[in-house]
Structure 1
Amino acid sequence: MKQGLQFFLLIFSLTFFAQKGNVDTTQVVIPNRYNSVEAQTKPYVIMISTDGFRYDYAKKYNAENLLRLSNEGVQAKAMFPSYPSITFPNHWTLITGLYPSHHGLIDNFFYDYKRKESYAMSDKKNAEDGSWYGGTPLWGLAEKQGMVSASLMWVGSASDAGGKRPTYYYPYHEKFSPSEKVDKVIEWLKLPMDKRPHFISLYFPEVDGSGHHFGPDTKETEDAVHLVDNAIGELVQEVNDLGLKNVNFVFVSDHGMIKVDGGSPLEIPAMLLNKDKFDIYNSQTLLRVYVKNQDKVKNVYKELKENKTDDYEVYLDKKLPKYLHFGTRDDRYNRIGQILLIPKAPKIFLEKGKKTSVGKHGYNPKIVPEMKATFFAWGPEFKNNLVIDEFANINVYPLVAEILGLKIDQPIDGKLKVLKKTLKEKN
């Protein structure tokens, strides 16, 4: 990549994605944590998420490092994100093995009627409060079993969700460039054996930001893919130079991206704008409705159904297709709402006077293929030159736990048998 382009992308990643105001970039280290003697003998897993890295981006934009590494290891045709196909729910699904309706992070923004509190992904107090998050994240599972872990900006990693934070982590910010994140990972892997993390989770936001701002089929998104791809190549080379044994890489994304019809958006039905009767939560690709008078739910549903256009569907939450795991039967935290209005891609719901982005996600990945995510894996534990069929992202958790030799201590939705075939047989 030319130096000029590298400079542009560095500035892009440090300005377009960075939060406003002063941000704490200091690493947090939990004291008095050490690998057990047994943990020191276990493999390493570096789990990398590139937000919004659509299932076809690597080939579409010739991500040379990722294509080479995944061709040598394991490459899925695609990975299905959980519904809705948005960032916070799917990152927490990947790290817990639970559907969003089962771990409670059902949207980037939602209201909990039992707590009488709102959750917003942009609220640091929410993000670092583990009581919002169900399930045991992989770093918590590792720490409970005597294995040191580390995380760079993964959703929820600064919280005490599941009872244990990673030994090494950073409060969320987007000030570090991809290359700087690589440096942080290498610093961790240079630590003494008793303090060296065996599970590392790492997050890159750049591709998602480009996809939203410019669209998935643009030079800017291609450049963001190459920026991350270069960082992956750099990371793998530097890890190899360390001479550590049995370092494995799992590269995933949370969802894909599609260009939406922002020029002629769908109007939210007028009746739903009555705040005395309804609470509405609009992510633009999904409109969730909470009817304050429970006795009126069926009547409201019937009226919405009768007056809808062909550009969207209306569902009672208990009638949503079972395979989405997003209806009443799955809503363990009662956060979803009773009625769902689901636009047909590329349509979106948009309030009057509001703006939208060029690219979006959130649609049903079984219907809208552009929502599908990426899964690549390589390293000593993985088979070579293996291509596998599409699978659901809930199954990544038990795969990583198996490599690390961790015992899953509570029920999850993912099944090891789905991805066990990607691992080499033990002698």
Structure 2
Amino acid sequence: MKHSALFKSLFFLVIFLSLASCGSTSNVSNFSPLTTVNTAESLKKPYVILISLDGFRHDYVNTYNPPYLSSFIEEGSQAASLIPYFPTKTFPNHYTIATGMYPDNHGLLANSYYDYDKKKTYSIGNRETVVDGSFYKGTPLWVNANSEGMVTASYFFVGTEADIQGVHPTYYYNYDGKVTNQERVDQAIKWLEMPEETRPHLITLYFSDMDDTGHRYGPNNKEKLREALFKLDSKLGDLFSRVDNTGLPVNIVIVSDHGMAEQSMEKLISTESLINDALYNMIDNGVILNIHPHNNEETDKIFNQLKKLENKFTVYKTEDTPHFEYVPKNKNWGPIQVIPDDGYYFSSSKSIERRKAGNQEVFGVHGYTPALKDMHGILYAKGPAINVGGSLPSVKNIHVYPMICKILGLAVPTNVDGKLSYLKGMLQE
């Protein structure tokens, strides 16, 4: 019996190490808290695949009727739309879905923001900040699952590359947009085919197709959007079918971080006239400029100077800024915000000239107020824990987290802003 137990332990260790080393972009955390083998309690739990379809607007399925997603919805549950938070950008809203917290609380305020404690600007284009777990507050799903002895995996999701609370998913990949959708689907199935002791019960997947296409052509280019959607739908159909063939109790939850709106060149505002490096640092997120004075005593002076420049935009003290559901209190917003008028968008002169050189008349953007329905995303779910034919009204994205925790039998941290009650109608009794 001792030899048998030793052999079994070595067998699973070899499997784990081989999976950890496959692919040049694959990473496995060396932190001691990392769960590599499911506890006996976790073995009894079902499975969740959380899929993000970046930039997938709430109305795309009804407009284009992709066959596999349409069937998925009919056999499961859906919300009328998933409501993001302002600014309706990729990183803060993905991380809100992952943590169930408002951006003010989880700290990832926008795709770029200034951190006063670190005296450093976080940016999605800066690998050093993206992988630094100290920027990410809250307890994302994979960290929560890990703390309860559950193996997790990710083929991309905001936050999974960072050592949040010293933890990555058990299996994960650094983001590489060149990785094909088929590779992502194939890896998800490989994870589900692993021995149950090391098989992940939470898997996250990310697909950027609709965001890429929407940005390039705008959300009203039906030919290009339909082409991209049906290619994506085919890969998702392959995933759905192969998941069913595993015979495992897998629940699939599909979300998007935001929608998309058409932007005209005529309504772009150059940011150059607002730059004043001598007085303040300015962070540009297209639909909002964060102003960070070098000297707090000059805040009122800077505010009054910017007010005189108002033209297709309005300058606000942070506590008076519109579009937020709550009064923003996180100091990293800075004391002054600049908001473009409806339909306008901030951009650098260099970017504007590049678009003009490419004869680009319209394109797609997001970030605007969640009151604009075009900014809303999707929430679809299907599986043994999900009601068939369930249909809910539009729901805020903070509520996805406690629903997934409920499915996996995970405790919900007390500081989470989302409530299970809003999505309980999606779940089987």
Q: Same fold (TM over 0.5)?
A: yes
Q: For 1:74-93, what per-residue CA distance to the aligned partner results, in whole angstroms no more than 9, with x for missing partners?
A: 11111111111001111111
The root-mean-square deviation of aligned C-alpha atoms, in Å, is 1.9
Q: 1:409 to 1:91 in 2, by over 3 A?
A: same
Q: For 1:133-155, what per-residue CA distance to the aligned partner results, in whole angstroms no more than 9, with x for missing partners?
A: 11111001001101111001111
Partner residue in 1 for 2:335: 338
- Show the 5 A alignment for 1:349-364: 349-355=346-352, 358-364=363-369
Q: Which runs of 5+ in 1 are unaligned?
A: 1-23
**Does 1:281 find its partner at 2:286?**
no
Number of aligned residues: 394
Partner residue in 2 for 1:180: 183
Question: Which SS does the other structure have where 1:313 is aligned?
Answer: strand
Q: Distance in 1 between matches of 2:195 and 2:53?
A: 29
Q: Distance in 2 between matches of 1:205 and 1:97?
A: 22
Partner residue in 2 for 1:407: 411
Q: Distance in 2 between matches of 1:350 and 1:195?
A: 47
- Show the 5 A alignment for 1:15-54: 25-30=24-29, 33-54=36-57
Question: Which SS does the other structure have where 2:176 is aligned?
Answer: coil
**Does 1:161 find its partner at 2:164?**
yes
Q: 1:338 to 1:400 in 2, by over 3 A?
A: same
Paired residue for 2:104, among 86, 101, 115? 101
Q: Distance in 2 between matches of 1:319 and 1:300?
A: 16
Partner residue in 2 for 1:3: none
**Paired residues of 1:262 and 1:347 also in contact (CA < 8 A):** no
Question: Which SS does the other structure have where 1:161 is aligned?
Answer: coil
Q: For 1:90-136, what per-residue CA distance to the aligned partner results, in whole angstroms no more than 9, with x for missing partners?
A: 11111011111211111112221221222221222222110111111
Partner residue in 1 for 2:318: 317
Q: Percent identity?
A: 37
Paired residue for 1:225, among 229, 235, 241? 229
Letter of the 1:237 counterpart: S
Q: CA deviation at 1:59?
A: 1.4
Q: Distance in 2 between matches of 1:27 and 1:396?
A: 27
Letter of the 1:232 counterpart: L
- Show the 5 A alignment for 1:23-422: 25-30=24-29, 33-218=36-221, 219-244=223-248, 246-268=249-271, 270=273, 272-305=274-307, 307-309=309-311, 311-321=312-322, 323-325=324-326, 327=328, 329=329, 331=330, 334-355=331-352, 358-366=363-371, 368-422=372-426
Partner residue in 1 for 2:16: none
Q: CA deviation at 1:307?
A: 4.7
Q: CA deviation at 1:193?
A: 0.6
Q: After alignment, is 80-89 or 351-360 more displaced?
A: 351-360
Q: Distance in 1 between matches of 2:48 and 2:61?
A: 21
Q: 1:345 to 1:211 in 2, by over 3 A?
A: farther
Q: CA deviation at 1:303?
A: 4.5
**Paired residues of 2:142 and 2:152 also in contact (CA < 8 A):** yes
Q: Distance in 2 between matches of 1:182 and 1:230?
A: 11
**Paired residues of 2:272 and 2:349 also in contact (CA < 8 A):** no
Q: After alignment, is 24-33 or 403-412 more displaced?
A: 24-33
Q: CA deviation at 1:266?
A: 2.2
Question: Which SS does the other structure have where 1:131 is aligned?
Answer: helix
Q: Distance in 1 between matches of 2:283 and 2:264?
A: 20
Q: 1:143 to 1:370 in 2, by over 3 A?
A: same
Q: Distance in 2 between matches of 1:243 and 1:221?
A: 34
Q: CA deviation at 1:222?
A: 2.1
Letter of the 2:297 counterpart: D
Q: Distance in 1 between matches of 2:181 and 2:271?
A: 39
Q: CA deviation at 1:29?
A: 3.7
Q: CA deviation at 1:278?
A: 1.6
Q: CA deviation at 1:64?
A: 1.7
**Paired residues of 1:343 and 1:349 also in contact (CA < 8 A):** yes
**Paired residues of 1:398 and 1:415 also in contact (CA < 8 A):** yes
Q: 1:174 to 1:353 in 2, by over 3 A?
A: closer
Q: CA deviation at 1:70?
A: 1.1
Q: 1:375 to 1:57 in 2, by over 3 A?
A: same
Q: CA deviation at 1:27?
A: 2.2
Q: CA deviation at 1:269?
A: 7.8
Q: 1:321 to 1:344 in 2, by over 3 A?
A: closer
Q: Distance in 2 between matches of 1:104 and 1:314?
A: 23
Partner residue in 1 for 2:10: none
Q: Distance in 2 between matches of 1:402 and 1:107?
A: 28
Q: 1:48 to 1:326 in 2, by over 3 A?
A: farther
Q: Distance in 2 between matches of 1:38 and 1:87?
A: 34
Question: Which SS does the other structure have where 1:66 is aligned?
Answer: helix
Q: Distance in 1 between matches of 2:392 and 2:427?
A: 12
Q: Distance in 2 between matches of 1:274 and 1:27?
A: 42
Q: CA deviation at 1:30?
A: 4.9
Q: After alignment, is 131-140 or 102-111 more displaced?
A: 102-111
Q: CA deviation at 1:228?
A: 1.8
